Amino acid sequence: MNGHIANEPVRTTCPYCGVGCGVLAEQNVAGQWSVRGDPDHPANFGRLCSKGAALAETIDLPQRLTVPMQRMADGGFSAFPGITHWIGSPKVFAQPSMNSARIRSGFTSPDKS
């Protein structure tokens, strides 16, 4: 929600589980965000569980992932080469899983994956 100058709430959804509750996010004049349940959303009719109600606490965390990252051997994190946003990243993540599935199914060997 970077760059949003609020007066009007932003209509969005909670990302924490498959229910996908509707959320109204608002930014006050000091730039602080708050959230509340969207009373018009058919999944939650204005209600949020404790995770959804705490969404605003995570918006400006400096550790928040804004692009896909990979864990390195030394325990640190690094950006994926060529991936600068979430769109397009599923192909990168799916390939190791497909290779692993092929190996487990016997369609290929680990050294040919």
Stretch that binds ligand SF4, among 25-33, 42-50, 58-66, 78-86 (CB under 6 A): 42-50
Stretch that binds ligand SF4, among 11-19, 24-32, 75-83, 103-111 (CB under 6 A): 11-19
Cα distances from 113 to residues 14, 94, 96, 97, in angstroms, run 37, 13, 9, 11
Which H, E and C letters describe 41-62, residue by residue?
CCCCCCCCCHHHHCHHHHCCCC
Task: Report the 10 Å Cβ neighbour count for 22.
Answer: 23
Identified binder of ligand SF4 from the candidate list 9, 10, 16, 92, rule CB under 6 A: 16
Identified binder of ligand SF4 from the candidate list 19, 54, 94, 101, rule CB under 6 A: 19
List interacting residues with ligand SF4 (CB under 6 A): 14, 16-17, 19-21, 44, 48-49, 51-52
